[in-house]
Amino acid sequence: MRKWLGKFSPLGWRLVATTVAFSTVVALLATAFQLYLDYRRDLGTIESTLDQVGHSYLPTIGNALWATNRKELQVALDGLARLPDVRHVAVMENDKIWAQAGQPKTQNIRSRDYPLNQVHRGETMTIGSLKVVMDMAGVYQRLLDKFWVILITNGVKTFLVAGFMLWFFHWLVTRHLQRIAEFAARLNPGNLHEQLTLDRPLHAHDQLDEFDLVLDGLTRMQSNLASAVQTLEQDIVKLERAEAEIHQLNSALEQRVVERTAQLEAVNHELEAFSYSVSHDLRTPLRSIDGFSQALIEDYGERLDPVGHDYLNRVRRAAQRMGLLIDDLLRLARITRADMKQVHVDLSTMALEVIEDLHKHKGYSEAPFRVQASLAAYGDPALLRIVMVNLLDNALKYSSKIAQPQIEVGSVVQDGRTVYFVRDNGAGFDMAYVGKLFGAFQRLHRAEEFPGTGVGLATVKRIVHRHGGEIWAEGQPNAGAMFSFTLSN
C-alpha cells in the first residue's frame, strides 16, 4: 500500500489534499444552506396547516361548543389531531380544558390559539378558545436524517474523486515529470542526441500542451548543448594540437640549441687550438729570425759593411713587428670569446691609471689632460680597460708631435644615453676615411709616422659591441680626433 502510494508524487498528494479540503468546506456550506431551506419549507407547511385549521375547523368546533354537543366536538377534535404533525388540540373555556385530543407536550412545539366566536342576537361573543399544538420533532428528525445522508454521500463522493484525481494527476503529469527528471539527470556530453519520449496518447498538433513545450525546450537545449560541446571539443583539439606543436617546436628548438651549442663549442675549441697554435708556432720562427740576425750582428758584425748591418736590422724590425701583429691579433681573438663579468666601473679612475701607465711605459711626453670626475660605467672592467688603453694610447700617440697637446676624457647625455668620449687635439684624420678606422690592420698613418699595428680600434669596437654599445669617431686633419662610445646601460 505504502509502495503503491509512493508511486504518487508529493505534488499529487498536495493537490488532492487541497482539493478535498476545499470541496469539503464548499459541500458543508451547501449542505447547511440546503438544510436551512428544508427547515424553512417544513416550517411553512406547519404554518399552512395551522391556517388551514383556522378556516376549516373553527366554525364546526365553535358550533359544537355553542351547542354543547360534546360528542360532535370530540369527533372534530379527533379529526384535527390526525392531521400531520398535530400533537395536541384542546378547547379551552376560561382556562379550563373542555375537550381535547392527542398528547400534550411542552418542548419542541409550535402552538396557536384561536378564539371561538359565536354571533348571538347580532352580537359577536367569544365563547372559548381552541389551542392547537404542532409537534416540531418530526421536522428536526427529517433534517437530521437529511444531514446524515448528505454527509455520507459527500464523503464517499469526495473520497472517490480524490482517488481518481490522484491517479489521474499521476497519469497526466507526475509520471512524466519523473521521467523528465531522470532523463535530465542522465544527460551528459556523450548522450546529448538521445530523444526523450513520454508515454502519452497521440494528440493533434493544435492540442499541444505544456509537456510538448517542455519536450521542445529540452530538445532545443540538447542541441544547443551539443553544439557548445562540439565547439569546445574542437577548441580542445585545436589547443591540444597547438600544444603538441609548441612541444615539438620546443624540443626541436632545444635540439637545435644543443646542436648549435655543440657546434659553437667545437668552433670555439678549434679557435682556441688555432690561437694556441698561432701564438706558439708562428712566433717560434720569428724568434729564430730575430735571434740569429742579432747573433750575426753581434758575432759577425765586423765582417759586414753598413748596408749589411742595415739589412739585418730591417730583418729584425720586420720580425719584431710581425711578433707584435701576432700578439695583437691574438688579443683581438681572445676578446671575442672572453667571458664577460659586468659590474659598475669608475671610468675616471681607470682613465687616470691608464694615462699614468702609458706615460711610464710608452715614454710619451707629458701632456696636459682633463678627466671628468666620477664617470660611471657598467661593463667588464678588464675589457673596458683595454678600451681606455687603446683610446688613450692613440690620443697620446697622435698628439705627441704637436706643441701643446690636450687630452680630454668625459661624457655627455644624448637621447637618454650616456656617451663617453676621448678627445685629443693631435694629428686627427680625414673624415673621408672614417670607415676604415675600425677595421683590423687598417691604418690611416704610416708606421714610420706613428707606429701601430692597426688592431687597436678594431679591438675597441669589438669590446663596445660586446657591451651592446656603439662607437664612432669624428676628426679633422691636424685638428684632433674625438672617439665616442656608448654601453648598453
Partner 1 sequence: MHNKVILLVEDNPDDETLTLRALSKSKILNEIVVARDGAEALDYLFGTGIHAGRDTLIQPQLILLDLKLPKVDGLEVLKRLRADHRTALLPVTILTTSNEERDVVTSYQLGVNSYVRKPVDSDSFIEAVRQLGLYWLVLNTAPPTGF
Grid cell locating 258: 644543443
Q: Are strands 480-485 and 343-346 parallel, antiparallel or unpaired?
A: unpaired
Beta strands per DSSP E along 273-359 = 343-346
Between 233 and 265, name the residue whose CB sits nearer to partner 1. Answer: 265
Q: Which residues of this chain interact with partner 1, rule CB under 8 A?
A: 275-276, 279-281, 283-288, 290-295, 316, 319-320, 322-323
Distance in Å, CB of 455 to partner 1, minimum: 16
Q: Helices (DSSP H) in 82-209: which residue ranges? A: 137-169, 175-186
Provide φ and ψ at 421, rounded to 5°.
Answer: -140, 150
Measured from the CB of residue 388, what is the shortest distance to partner 1 in angstroms?
21
Nearer to partner 1, 283 or 465 (CB): 283
Closest to partner 1 by CB, 330 vs 375, is: 330
Which residue, 290 or 424, has its beta carbon nearer to partner 1?
290
Q: Which is nearer to partner 1, 206 or 281 (CB)?
A: 281
Rounded to a whole number of angstroms, the minimum distance from the CB of residue 349 to partner 1 is 25
Nearest Cα residue to 134 out of 100, 77, 87:
87
347-362 and 381-398 are packed helices; what angle lies between their axes, rounded to 10 degrees?
A: 50
Asked whether the beta carbons of 278 and 330 are under 8 A apart, the reply is: yes
Bridge-based pairing of strands 109-120 and 343-346 is unpaired
SS3 category, 345: strand
Residue with cell 502519452: 200
Nearest to partner 1 of 198, 278 (CB atom): 278
Least distance CB 463 / partner 1 (angstroms): 17
d(CA 143, CA 358): 143
Phi-psi region of 92 (alpha: psi -120 to 50; beta: other; left: phi over 0): beta
Residue 117 or 320 with smaller CB distance to partner 1: 320
Q: Could you give phi then psi for residue 280, rounded to 5 degrees?
A: -90, -55
Helices 58-66, 10-56: inter-axial angle, 10-degree rounding = 40
CA–CA separation, 183 and 215 (whole Å): 11
Which residues have a Cβ under 8 Å from the Cβ of 98 and sit 6 or more positions away?
65, 73, 90, 91, 92, 128
Instruction: Write down the least CB distance from residue 304 to partner 1, Å.
Output: 17
Query: Cβ(81)–Cβ(98) under 8 Å?
Result: no
User: In angstroms, what is the minimal distance from the CB of 323 to partner 1?
Assistant: 3
Residue number, 52 or 268, with CB nearest to partner 1: 268
Least CB distance from residue 295 to partner 1, whole Å?
Answer: 6
When the beta carbons of 135 and 380 are compared against partner 1, the nearer one is: 380
- CB neighbour burial string for 107-116, b if at least 16 within 10 angstroms, e if fewer: eeebeeebeb
Q: How far is the CB of 315 from partner 1 (least distance, A)?
A: 11
Q: How far apart are CA 308 and CA 417, in angstroms?
A: 58
- Closest approach, Cβ 279 to partner 1, in A, equals 5
d(CA 268, CA 288): 30
Least separation in angstroms between CB 297 and partner 1: 10
Helix, strand, coil % over all residues of the chain, rounded to 5: 60, 15, 20
Q: Considering beta carbons, is residue 86 or 333 the nearer one to partner 1? A: 333
